[in-house]
C-alpha cells in the first residue's frame, strides 16, 4: 500500500520538549538582550610583600577596545534581515515584523 | 492511559521480520518494561514513494496496520504529497527513511515510564531537554562509574 507520510510532532518521554528550530530559545534571546555585569575577577592579588589577598572592590576595567563602529545603514540592516530570512533563521512573518521596525 | 510511545525506525538493506528481535520484545513485554504496539515494514522507492511491505502470514494480517494509519495516509484517499504543513520540530517517515531503502518502524510503549511521567507532571515539572547519550559519552560514563568503584 502506498503511503503519504504524515507530519507528526516530536515529543519527549515526559512531554513536549521545546524545539526552536535551531534558533535561540526565548531564554537565550533574553539573556543576550539583557547582558549582566561582567563577572568579578576571581584571581587573587599579591600585595607588596608577596602575600596573596582576596579580590575586593570593583573589578579592574578591561583594556579599551577598538572604537565603536558606526551604526549600520538602513540598507545594510535590510540586507542582513533578508539574509536571515533566506538562511531560514527567521520566518517570513518574523521578517515582516522586523522589517517594519527598521 | 498508555505510557510514552517511542517510534523506532531502523534501516535494513533487506527488510525482514527478525525472530530474535521479536523474541526480545516478548521478553520485555512479559517483564512489564515495554510493549511492542505495532511493527511496520516500509520501502522507499528511488522517487521517494513510500510503500508498506506485507508481513509474513504467521504474524497476522493486522500487523503494521496501526503504524501505517498513524504515520501515513493511503494514496488512494486522494491525499496530496503532504496533508499537513510542516511544523517546526515535526517529522515524518519521509525524513527518516532515505529514498531507495527499507526500514522497520516500531511503535514501542514504555510501560515502565508511565508512572514516572505522571509523577513528573504532578510535581509540576516541565520537560526542557531529552536525548540519548552518544556511544562515546556512554563509554565515558562507564569509565567514570568504574573509577568511582561501581
Q: Give CA–CA dist B107/B1, Å, rounded.
A: 16
Residue of A nearest to B80 (CA): A4
Residue A51: φ, ψ to 5°: -85, 145
A and B: number of Cβ contacts within 8 A: 103
Most confident of A4-13, B56-65, B107-116: B107-116
Query: At residue A86, does pLDDT exceed 60?
Result: yes
Cell of residue B23, nine digits: 523474541
Place of cell 560514563: B141
Higher pLDDT among residues B27 and A55, named by residue = B27
pLDDT tens digits for A15-49? 766 655 555 666 666 677 777 666 555 444 444 44
pLDDT tens digits for B74-87? 886 544 455 555 55
Phi-psi region of A20 (alpha: psi -120 to 50; beta: other; left: phi over 0): alpha
- pLDDT at B65 (0 to 100): 93
- pLDDT at B57 (0 to 100): 77
Q: Enter the ipTM.
A: 0.71
From the CA of A2, how many Å to the nearest CA of chain B?
4
Mean pLDDT of A66-94: 76
Question: Among residues of chain B, what percentage have pLDDT more than 90?
Answer: 36
Interchain proximity A3–B129, CB inside 8 Å: no
User: In chain A, which among 8-37 make CB contacts under 8 A with chain B?
Assistant: 8-21
Q: Give CA–CA dist A55/A43, Å, rounded.
A: 7
Contact of B85 with A3, CB cutoff 8 Å: no
Whether A58 and chain B come into contact, CB under 8 Å, resolves to no
Q: Give CA–CA dist B70/A5, Å, rounded.
A: 9
- pLDDT at B67 (0 to 100): 95
Q: Give CA–CA dist B83/B76, Å, rounded.
A: 13
Residue of A nearest to B94 (CA): A5
Interchain proximity A7–B84, CB inside 8 Å: yes
What mean pLDDT, rounded, does chain B reach?
84
Q: What is the 3-state secondary structure (H, E, C) of chain B?
A: CCCCEEEEEEEECCCCCCHHHHHHHHHHHHCCCEEEEEEEEEEECCCCCEEEECCCHHHCCCCCHHHHHHHEEEHHHCCCCCCCCCCCCCECHHHHCCCCEEEEEEEEEECCHHHHHHHHHHCCCCCCCCCCCCHHHHHHHHHHHHHHCC
pTM of the model: 0.60
Contact of B96 with B36, CB cutoff 8 Å: no
pLDDT tens digits for B119-145? 888 998 887 888 889 999 999 999 999
Higher pLDDT among residues B72 and A13, named by residue = B72
Q: Give CA–CA dist A26/A10, Å, rounded.
A: 19
Binned at pLDDT 50, 70 and 90, residue B13 comes out as confident
Q: Which residues of A touch B9 (CB under 8 A)?
A: none
The residue of A1, A26, A27, A93 whose CB has the most chain B CBs within 10 angstroms, and thus the best one to mutate to test that interface, is A1
Whether A2 and chain B come into contact, CB under 8 Å, resolves to yes
Interchain proximity B68–A3, CB inside 8 Å: yes
Amino acid at each position: 500500500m502506498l503511503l503519504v507520510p504524515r507530519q507528526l510532532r516530536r515529543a519527549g518521554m515526559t512531554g513536549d520538549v521545546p524545539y526552536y528550530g535551531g534558533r535561540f530559545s526565548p531564554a537565550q534571546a533574553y539573556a543576550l538582550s539583557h547582558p549582566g555585569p561582567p563577572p568579578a575577577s576571581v584571581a587573587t592579588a599579591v600585595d607588596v610583600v608577596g602575600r596573596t589577598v582576596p579580590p575586593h572592590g570593583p573589578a579592574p576595567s578591561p583594556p579599551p577596545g577598538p572604537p565603536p563602529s558606526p551604526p549600520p545603514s538602513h540598507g545594510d540592516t535590510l540586507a542582513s534581515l533578508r539574509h536571515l530570512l533566506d538562511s531560514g533563521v527567521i520566518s517570513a512573518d518574523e521578517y515582516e515584523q522586523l522589517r517594519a521596525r527598521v | 492511559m498508555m505510557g510514552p510511545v517511542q517510534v523506532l525506525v531502523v534501516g535494513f538493506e533487506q527488510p525482514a521480520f527478525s525472530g530474535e528481535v521479536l523474541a526480545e520484545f516478548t521478553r520485555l513485554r512479559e517483564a512489564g518494561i515495554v510493549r511492542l504496539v505495532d511493527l511496520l515494514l516500509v520501502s522507499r522507492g528511488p522517487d521517494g514513494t513510500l510503500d508498506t511491505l506485507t508481513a509474513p502470514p504467521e504474524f497476522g494480517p493486522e500487523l503494521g496496520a496501526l503504524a501505517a494509519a498513524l504515520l501515513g495516509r493511503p494514496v488512494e484517499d486522494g491525499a496530496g504529497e503532504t496533508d499537513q504543513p510542516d511544523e517546526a520540530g515535526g517529522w515524518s517517515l519521509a525524513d527518516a527513511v532515505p529514498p531507495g531503502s527499507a526500514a522497520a518502524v516500531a511503535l514501542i510503549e514504555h510501560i515502565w515510564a508511565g508512572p514516572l511521567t505522571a509523577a513528573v507532571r504532578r510535581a509540576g515539572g516541565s520537560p526542557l531537554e531529552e536525548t540519548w547519550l552518544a556511544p562515546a559519552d556512554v563509554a565515558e560514563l562507564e569509565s567514570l562509574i568504574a573509577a568511582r568503584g561501581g
